[in-house]
Amino acid sequence: MSRVAPSELGWRLGKSVIPRGVQLWVRYDRTTGVYGAQGSGKTLDLLAPALLAHPGAALATLTKLDDLLLTVTDRQQPLQAGATGGRGAPRPVAVLDPFGIAPGVPELVWDPIAGCVDPMVAERRAKAFSAGTVTGAVAGGRQDGAARFYAAETAKVLQGFFHAAALTGRTLEHVLEWVANPVKAEKPAEILEQHPQAARFWDGLLHGALSGSADTVGNTVTTVQQAMALFFQPSIRARCVPRAGRPATDITDVLARRGTVYLLGRDDPYASASPLMTAVAEQVLDTALAMATASPHGKVAPSFLACLDELPSTTPLPTLRTRMANERALGLSFLYAAQTWRQMVVCYGEDEARSLFGLTNNIVVFGGGKDIHFYREVSDLLGITRISRQSISDGPGGIGTNRSVEDVPVLRPEHIRLIPERQALVVAENAPPILAKLRRCVDGRDGRALLARQAAARSQVSLDRDARVDPAERAAAALAYSRAHDLTDPDDPSDVAAPDHERDGELHKGRTAAPHLDDSPSDPDSAPTPATHTHTHTHTHTKEWSW
Ligand SMILES: Nc1ncnc2c1ncn2[C@@H]1O[C@H](COP(=O)(O)OP(=O)(O)OP(=O)(O)O)[C@@H](O)[C@H]1O
Ligand SMILES: [Mg+2]
């Protein structure tokens, strides 16, 4: 009988300190949530090692380029002989990199409209996009409840837009035109009302979400635009969305070849990638689920690992709880990390965050945090233990001893904060609490080799990033065009008219100059972005405006 490597059945968590000396492994059909402050070791001690050792396909979310570069080389290596299957073929990776942080690594190209003829797909996608807006809205000052209400209204609008676009062969460009001014966009409602294959009553849902009090509609519109905000950047749209010569990534193929889909976001309050990343993550998980149900074994084998680092800020998946409950038995394994409990509450709401916490088989808590309320709850979860005390009194009446029993917490909240680095508290199903020693993947000889591969990957990430147009050159070209087309402010004394010969040249070049200025290589005749819309309305003296 051939030996089965433990990494085919689960991932190594560490070795127990209390009780002493037991190797700790987490089965792939058990879910794990990791809580730890910034720099506590969530990624390097747990998520990265689990991803590196995992023999099957994986989804990894992250916000740091270094974390991507640490695993991206090894995840492409063929599996070592001895693991079942593998056959020595390199494994694919596909990185969704909206901000162009990691040029040179294989990219994930994804069409948000594809598949939305099916109302179920349109609805799920719209909900995923809108769920990604909640964290940002709450952090931006809106209350949790209000943020969730507008996210739900947003989903109604987006599902209608996605469905209408897909039914009529329209593209993301058209959806963005509608999103730029949802209240004025008549086409989607018309399509939903008239198309025989349109989901019934969706025109009503769309109308309902976009009518009513001006405040409510205004907030809904803002949230809709926030959900799609990334795509309004031409460079991001060009990078993520398919076009001629740049087809969409075949996610099923990547997963079937035990590849890895990375979603690389950014912790940036101005430009959150989480709506897009949540939508792509849902699609990857749905693909893995479809593979499980189509398999003769009824499950993905080897299992699929969803390694969701910084879950609340990368991919606040609305379906995570249900997926964890239903899909872990189908070979989909879930490992998520968050810095604080509060982040989870902001993202999911108190009740949902609690259910998620309750459903997670293993909770791993690092020390060093400041959230005493969370530590108190964990301490309560560990329960109490009975200890006996013996006190000796030495008084005028002589020496006396007194024995008493006392119930004390197994681990006091303040002691959880003191758990040292490279160790964590593990609350695993019905086992007693465990203090575990973890292995940081950058330690030791293996760690040095891994860091060397990370350094090599970093130097490959080309320094010249995107071949960008020099900002000064770009500004000069824009101004020249504006002068040639009477778009400048006539009252501005600094606006000295360009010499006639220059003017003529620019006028002549007009249309060909525009694509050069734009980062987007997309068709210049395609639908305008909201920025150009705004100009058409505000510059009333515009004579000619046709980029
Ligand atoms: N290349 C490296 N070599 C040695 N130590 C490192 C290296 N990179 C990071 N560290 C250290 O390892 C520790 C754990 O880092 P890790 O990235 O795992 O933290 P984290 O819990 O994931 O934090 P965050 O929430 O910010 O992602 C940090 O204190 C960091 O300083
Ligand atoms: Mg991390």
Distance from the first to the final alpha carbon of the chain: 69
For residue 224, give both structure tokens. 């809709």
Is any atom of ligand 1 closer than 6 Å to the C-beta of 451? yes
For residue 444 and ligand 1, the question of a CB distance below 6 A is answered with no
Ion ligand 2 residue ranges (Cβ < 5 Å) = 42-43
pLDDT tens figures, 166-220 = 999 999 999 999 999 999 999 999 999 999 999 999 999 999 989 888 899 999 9
Mutate to test the pocket of ligand 1, among 34, 43, 44 (most ligand atoms within 8 A of CB): 44
Please give the backbone phi and psi of residue 63, each rounded to the nearest 5 degrees, phi first: -125, -5
Q: What is the mean pLDDT of residues 92-115?
A: 92
Q: Whose CA is nearest to atom 11 of ligand 1?
A: 39
- For the Cβ of 454 lying below 6 angstroms from any atom of ligand 1, the answer is no
**Contact yes or no for 439/45 (Cβ under 8 A):** yes
By mean pLDDT, which of 63-67, 222-226, 380-384 is the weakest?
380-384
Between CA 467 and CA 231 the distance in angstroms is 20
**In the chain, what is the greatest distance between 2 CA atoms, to the nearest angstrom?**
114
Q: How far is the CA of 223 from the centre of ligand 2 (A)?
A: 28
Dist CA 183 CA 202 (whole Å): 15
- The CA 101 to ligand 2 mean position distance, Å, reads 17
| Backbone angle region of 86, left / alpha / beta, with phi > 0 → left and psi within -120 to 50 → alpha | left
CA angle 382, 317, 172 (to 5 degrees): 170
State the distance from the centre of ligand 1 to the C-alpha of 473, rounded, in angstroms.
40
Q: ∠ CA(7), CA(9), CA(11), 5° rounding?
A: 50
**In residues, how long is the chain?**
547
* Torsion sign, CA atoms 291, 297, 302, 304: positive
Any idea what DSSP says for residue 16? E
Please report which helix (H) or strand (E) contains residue 136, including its range.
helix 134-139
How far is 18 from 25, CA to CA, in rounded Å? 15
Given a cut of 50, is residue 508 above it in pLDDT? no
| DSSP 8-state secondary structure symbol assigned to residue 415 | H
Average per-residue pLDDT for the chain:
82
Q: What is the DSSP string of 131-174?
A: HTTHHHHHHTT--HHHHHHHHHHHHHHHHHHHHHHHHTT--HHH
Q: Which domains does the chain have, with CATH numbers?
A: 29-108+249-368+419-446 (3.40.50.300), 119-236 (no CATH), 478-547 (no CATH)
Question: Tens of pLDDT along 367-393?
Answer: 988 888 888 888 888 776 677 778 888
C-alpha of residue 445 to centroid of ligand 2, in Å: 22
Q: What separation in Å is there between the alpha carbon of 447 and the centre of ligand 1?
A: 13
| CA trace torsion 178, 180, 184, 187 (10° rounding) | -10
pLDDT tens digits along 21-51: 888 999 999 999 999 999 999 999 999 999 9
Q: How confident is the model at residue 516 (pLDDT cuts 50, 70, 90)?
A: very low
Q: Are 386 and 407 within 8 A, CB to CB?
A: yes
Residues facing residue 525 across a β-bridge: none
- Torsion region of 232: left, alpha or beta (phi above 0 gives left; psi -120 to 50 gives alpha): alpha
Report whether 286 contacts 255 (CB < 8 A): no
Helix (H) or strand (E) holding 480: helix 471-484
Lowest-confidence segment of 187-196, 320-329, 522-531 by average pLDDT: 522-531
pLDDT band, very low/low/confident/very high, at 1 (cuts 50, 70, 90): low
Residue nearest to atom 18 of ligand 1 (CA): 41
Q: How far apart are CA 93 and CA 68, in angstroms?
A: 11
Q: Is 312 in the pocket of ligand 1 (CB under 6 A)?
A: no
Whether residue 362 has its Cβ less than 6 Å from ligand 1 = no
Find out whether the beta carbon of 36 lies less than 6 Å from any atom of ligand 1.
yes
Amino acid at position 111, single letter: D
Question: Does the pLDDT of residue 513 top 80, yes or no?
Answer: no
Is the N-terminal amide bond of 6 cis, ω within 30° of 0? no
Q: For atom 23 of ligand 1, which residue has the closest CA? A: 39
Alpha carbons 480 and 472: distance in angstroms, whole number: 12
Please indicate whether residue 38, judged by its CB atom, sits closer than 6 Å to ligand 1. Answer: yes
Rounded to the nearest angstrom, the distance between the alpha carbon of 131 and the centre of ligand 1 is 28
Q: How far is the CA of 178 from the centre of ligand 2 (A)?
A: 37
> Cβ distance 495 to 483 under 8 Å?
yes
Kindly state if the Cβ of 39 falls inside 6 Å of ligand 1: yes
Q: Does residue 359 line the site of ligand 1, with CB under 6 A?
A: no
d(CA 486, CA 494): 15
Q: Which residue CA neighbors atom 5 of ligand 1 most closely? A: 442
Residue (of 281, 326, 328) closest to 304 by Cα position: 328
Helix (H, G, I), strand (E, B) or coil at 422: coil
Determine if ligand 1 sits within 6 Å of the CB of residue 41: yes
Confidence of residue 86 (pLDDT cuts 50, 70, 90): very low
